[in-house]
Structure 1
Amino acid sequence: MTTPAFECRSCGHREARTILDLGFLPLPNRLVSEREANHPDPRYPLELVYCPHCSLVQIRETVDPELLFTEYLYFSSFSETMLDHARRLCRLCIGRLSLSPESRVVEVASNDGYLLQYFLREGIPVLGIEPARNIARVAVERGIPTRAVFFGSATARELAAEGEAADLILGLNVLAHVPDLHGFIDGIRCLLKPGGAAVFEFPYVRSMIEGNEFDTIYHEHLCYFSLSVVAGLFRRHGLAVFDAEKIPIHGGSLRIFVCHAGTRPEEESVRRIEDEERQDGLLSYEYYQKFAVSVEGLRQEMRRRISGMKKCNERIVAYGAAAKGSILLNYFDIGPDDIPYIADINPHKQGKFLPGNHIPVVSPEKIRETRPEYVLIIPWNLKNEIMEQLSFISEWNGKFMLAIPRIEVIASGS
């Protein structure tokens, strides 16, 4: 089920301008079973648009969150890159905010506890909020207090009434997923202690556009923020962005620090990034107009490359059954005849099929067994970690391939 008509998730404006229309695609994180693979998957519209009233970039339709998040197959702990990022963020927050065992940390969309575990090891009380019931169960089994609920104003008020108000609220890669932005941000305001701070990380719209990262556009990623737009959202709820920085995670993200308005001085970084955005046109529609042309060029080039491999009897397989892969391969119209399987280290995904094109998901050992000439790395944001994991393809002179930000072949061992 999707929303019947467009209404900007920030300002309520009812008109939008198209940036990129990906057509009707299956929900990318809903891998299908062997039985389900005998039938076509439901498809939903996926169109990236620009609001001319407030400059928020977002997708036009909203799919029912119950379809997207109640059962989820993305476990952050399977990535060493994400674990290292979590360790460093924990140290940063403890030092900067002077957190102690008397403090309380709440994470929204806490996944399997991959971040909260590091605060817990320092003796700091934590609480995770994770709507995916299967992932919340895993977190609880690992000793991370977790509630399997969606976060919003009502949930925040209940938690505050129970004494769960937080000195630090964390939200990594969640703000883009929220259909009710105002309810979510009001919830942050309700749950955050008067002297507390919230830290959010989210993919930066500038990085997406300039890096051709169209495969990060999917049904659960509703909004694509600039700092100027997101700071305005928080201001409307009595909150202020007091610091901001660009970070490399997920192909280019923003990390922002938020507090109750007037409780902390604004760092120079906020004004500097906002000035850059205005000067470079991020708040105007013109900035986004060439994106669709770039994406279509990638699609045509990838089709040409795969056709050439077939003519030379060269085989290509893929690694990483991430949502990125579903979007990229389905939009490029690549199926099992082109890429016979996609390997993934996550055992919860093995034995299933990518939605839409029904490419089977297998163990990475399959790569060693079949010795393909090329391995297409789907999670390009984790390419260094994956190339190290699959360094054994150098035994037969196998090569790695990337599709984002451009088609690139990398010799193994380089």
Structure 2
Amino acid sequence: MPELLETLQYDFFYHEHPRYYSLTALEAAFAPHGLEVFRVERIPTRGGSLRVHAGVAGQYEVDGSVAALRESEASLGLTDEGTYRKFAARVAEHRERLRGLLAEVTRDGSRVAAATSPARATTLLTYCGLGPADLEFVSEVNPRKIGRLSPGAHLPVVAQERLCGPDQPEYALLLSWHIADELMSLLRADGFRGRFIVPLPEPAVV
């Protein structure tokens, strides 16, 4: 949860991932059922996750990781409603900055397409109101996605060769921004010569 809030990963809320839990929230959910958390680990999976070990209350010795994370969450404001209201405000501000950046780079007639079509992109595209007027297409390597439309935004999903071919756009919006370095290297190797737009956590042209 801290990593999600810090890096503004609001695009990680979608149909497979409708909710995320802090240790504090999990303890409140477990307690009425006679369960307690006895060990917790922070792991890097999916931008930052928790591996929680829980069992019947009193059956296992509770190690120091639980109290340490509980205190950390409190110090980060995860038990304060205001933290989430501020997150919502940051998300709304981000939408305007991303839309503004796209308007700026296309002012001279430059074209922008999106690279990759991960599930999380649906949240980003629809919340930011991005569609065919903003992006020419979405490029993909997954044959199951090619030839379809992106959910909500209705952008045509095309083979990556179109993004990297002779009539390529000047900019590629990286929808899999969480692996931006890897993705940029792959696209360069495939022949993309334009510039990249990394949408989160802060919209930037690289």
- Shorter-chain TM-score category? 0.7 to 0.9
Equivalent position of 1:267 in the other structure:
63
Q: Match for 2:197 among 395, 398, 401?
A: 401
Deviation >4 Å, runs of 4+: none
The CA distance in 2 between the partners of 1:267 and 1:390, in whole Å, is: 46
Equivalent position of 1:359 in the other structure:
155
Task: Compute the RMSD of aligned alpha carbons.
Answer: 2.1
Equivalent position of 1:323 in the other structure:
119
Equivalent position of 1:287 in the other structure:
83
Trace 1:241-320 onto structure 2 (pairs within 5 A): 241-320=37-116
Q: The residue matched to 1:246 in structure 2 has which SS?
A: strand
2:40–2:53: 8 Å Cα contact kept in structure 1?
yes
The structure with the larger Rg is 1
The CA distance in 2 between the partners of 1:364 and 1:261, in whole Å, is: 53
The CA distance in 1 between the partners of 2:37 and 2:89, in whole Å, is: 34
- 1:378 equivalent to 2:168? Answer no
Trace 1:97-246 onto structure 2 (pairs within 5 A): 204=1, 206-246=2-42
Equivalent position of 1:140 in the other structure:
none
The CA distance in 2 between the partners of 1:313 and 1:235, in whole Å, is: 59
1:352–1:360: 8 Å Cα contact kept in structure 2?
yes
Deviation of the 1:320 alpha carbon: 2.2
Q: Scaled by the length of structure 1, what TM-score is found? A: 0.46
Structure 1, unpaired ranges of 5+: 1-203
Equivalent position of 1:391 in the other structure:
188
The CA distance in 2 between the partners of 1:381 and 1:209, in whole Å, is: 14
Q: Which amino acid in the other structure matches residue 181 of structure 2?
A: N
2:135–2:155: 8 Å Cα contact kept in structure 1?
yes
Deviation of the 1:249 alpha carbon: 2.5
Q: The residue matched to 1:367 in structure 2 has which SS?
A: helix
2:163–2:192: 8 Å Cα contact kept in structure 1?
no
Q: Which amino acid in the other structure matches residue 349 of structure 1?
A: K
Trace 1:3-22 onto structure 2 (pairs within 5 A): none
Q: The residue matched to 2:145 in structure 1 has which SS?
A: coil
Q: Scaled by the length of structure 2, what TM-score is found? A: 0.88
CA 335–269 in structure 1, closer or farther in 2 if over 3 Å, else same: same
Higher mean C-alpha displacement, 283-292 vs 258-267: 258-267
The CA distance in 2 between the partners of 1:365 and 1:287, in whole Å, is: 43
CA 263–363 in structure 1, closer or farther in 2 if over 3 Å, else same: farther
The CA distance in 2 between the partners of 1:274 and 1:339, in whole Å, is: 43
1:371–1:393: 8 Å Cα contact kept in structure 2?
no
Equivalent pairs counted in the alignment come to 205
CA 271–390 in structure 1, closer or farther in 2 if over 3 Å, else same: same
Deviation of the 1:220 alpha carbon: 4.3
The CA distance in 1 between the partners of 2:149 and 2:21, in whole Å, is: 31
Q: The residue matched to 1:294 in structure 2 has which SS?
A: helix
By relative contact order (CA 8 Å, sep 6+), the higher-ranking structure is 2
Equivalent position of 2:142 in the other structure:
346
The CA distance in 2 between the partners of 1:305 and 1:386, in whole Å, is: 21
The CA distance in 1 between the partners of 2:192 and 2:144, in whole Å, is: 28
